[in-house]
């Protein structure tokens, strides 16, 4: 059986599934329940100066009958007294010494405040820190959170402060509310951070209540931009993760992947694109802590099936498959094929192709049903028909090269080849 134990910056955990810094990691009661359910570690909800949270705090985007495809929140860092948090962290470490205990921090914007907070947390026996440079609401007005992560030089300065005092491993959490996470990632790596984590939440409005005309969540008729997370942000998280994993400097440190991890498959995708472990929040808030059981079982079965013995056998394996558009092979071509034995004659492929794509599907009217076939000379292999088809593997994409030679766009232009040869 595959060994899914994880070591991140020397911090050991029985599996790579950690709970992210969020409401599920706000107190001893939650964290102990999470450890009992099987989570490999937690990042304790961000500690810092005392704050006061508002009510209400969450809103969501539902789609296609699925609740909470995306979750929006306007909650700040922990509003519980610091001494209570520190006491409970110490107790959790004592009760579950084999689980990772990382504490998220967001001190006031001066060196002394960071040094004092670091010392207090180190005394709990925690295993590491995660610097919250990502919170996109509330704390930004105080010059914290995303306002630090959005400025590489400020982020560099704060990490330098932290590294002066910290004796535990330091992870810096990056904000996605930037054009690119790489500049800040480079700055904090140069400043000495031991690892990176990403992404934090994306600034958002999930929608407007059409009766009150106020976006949710609302506080006495007013709302603010919130932080968006959940399955909806996974594609953005994967892209930003990959840019960090490809960069010559930032790829030198381990990465903790965050952003829409809901299943073991999501976790594997994050690790294939460079993450050494993953952090989960929204899925646990929606389904409860026991989802980790499915994640552990699914990851183990997949690794056994593929022949991977440890996580290191596949971490980062997909990073080099992401290239530049101009380097793709123009002679590589797909043509769709419809399996008539599986087709349910709904016509969705035909409608999509006829109205919005390349008119590559022929409709033959019949009794009792219509039939649909691919016009191969017109098919550009765009995948749209396959994507809208409700039957798995009814439409497949077959390779039909236009030439045996590999040729990319730059070479295509250099040779003066015809631009429209379809």
276 and 6 Cβ atoms separated by less than 8 Å = yes
Reported as a single tens digit per residue, the pLDDT across 353-406 is 999 999 999 999 998 999 999 999 999 999 999 999 999 999 999 999 988 899
> Cβ atoms within 10 A of the Cβ of 90, count?
17
For 113-116, which contacts have Cβ atoms below 8 Å and span 24 or more sequence positions? Answer: 113/49, 114/158, 114/161, 114/162, 114/165, 115/161, 115/164, 115/165
Q: What one-character DSSP code corresponds to residue 381?
A: -
pLDDT at 53: 86
Q: Which residue has the tokens 């994050």?
A: 270
Tell me: cis bond preceding 276? Omega within 30 of 0 counts: no
Reported as a single tens digit per residue, the pLDDT across 39-59 is 999 999 999 988 888 899 999
pLDDT at 230: 96
Q: Of 246, 299, 404, 421, whose CA–CA distance to 16 is shortest?
A: 299
- N-term to C-term CA, the chain: 50
pLDDT at 137: 55
pLDDT at 136: 63
> What is the set of active-site residues?
135
pLDDT at 422: 46
In whole angstroms, what is the distance from residue 141 CA to residue 139 CA? 5
199 and 133 Cβ atoms separated by less than 8 Å = no
Q: What one-character DSSP code corresponds to residue 415?
A: T
pLDDT at 139: 52
- Report all structural domains of the chain as residue ranges with CATH numbers, in order of start: 6-321 (3.20.20.70), 326-414 (3.30.70.20)
For the chain, which residues score pLDDT lower than 70?
A: 136-146, 420-422
pLDDT at 276: 98
Reported as a single tens digit per residue, the pLDDT across 11-45 is 999 999 999 999 999 999 999 999 999 999 999 99
């Amino acid at each position: 059986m595959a060994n899914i134990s994880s070591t991140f910056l020397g911090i050991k955990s029985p599996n790579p599934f950690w709970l992210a810094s969020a409401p599920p990691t706000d107190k001893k009661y939650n964290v102990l329940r999470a450890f009992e359910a099987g989570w490999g570690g937690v990042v304790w909800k961000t500690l810092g100066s005392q704050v006061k949270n508002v009510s209400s705090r969450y809103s969501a985007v539902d789609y296609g009958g699925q609740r909470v495809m995306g979750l929006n929140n306007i909650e700040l860092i922990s509003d519980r007294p610091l001494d209570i948090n520190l006491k409970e962290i110490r107790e959790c470490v004592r009760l579950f010494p084999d689980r990772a205990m990382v504490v998220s921090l967001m001190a006031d914007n001066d060196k002394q405040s960071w040094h004092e907070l670091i010392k207090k947390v180190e005394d709990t026996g925690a295993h590491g820190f995660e610097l919250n440079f990502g919170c996109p609401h509330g704390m930004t007005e105080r010059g914290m959170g995303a306002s630090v992560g959005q400025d590489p030089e400020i982020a560099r300065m704060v990490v330098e402060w932290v590294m002066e005092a910290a004796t535990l491993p330091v992870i810096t959490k990056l904000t996605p509310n930037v054009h690119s996470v790489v500049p800040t990632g480079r700055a904090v790596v140069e400043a000495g951070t031991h690892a990176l984590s990403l992404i934090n939440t994306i600034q958002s409005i999930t929608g407007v209540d059409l009766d009150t005309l106020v976006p949710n969540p609302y506080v006495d008729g007013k709302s603010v931009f919130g932080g968006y997370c959940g399955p909806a942000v996974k594609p953005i998280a994967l892209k930003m993760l990959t840019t960090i994993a490809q960069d010559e400097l930032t790829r030198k440190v381990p990465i903790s992947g965050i952003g829409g991890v809901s299943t073991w498959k999501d976790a594997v995708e994050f690790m294939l694109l460079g993450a050494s472990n993953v952090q989960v929040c929204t899925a646990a808030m929606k389904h409860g802590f026991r989802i980790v059981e499915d994640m552990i079982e699914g990851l183990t079965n997949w690794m056994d099936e593929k022949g991977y013995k440890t996580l290191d056998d596949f971490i980062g394996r997909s990073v080099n498959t992401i290239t530049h558009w101009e380097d793709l092979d123009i002679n590589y071509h797909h043509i769709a094929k419809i399996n008539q034995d599986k087709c349910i004659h709904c016509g969705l492929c035909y409608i999509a192709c006829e109205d919005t794509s390349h008119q590559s599907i022929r409709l033959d009217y019949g009794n009792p049903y219509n039939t649909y076939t691919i016009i191969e000379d017109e098919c550009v292999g765009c995948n749209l028909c396959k994507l809208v088809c409700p039957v798995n593997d009814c439409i497949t994409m077959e390779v039909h090269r236009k030439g045996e030679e590999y040729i990319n766009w730059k070479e295509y232009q250099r040779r003066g080849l015809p631009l429209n040869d379809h």
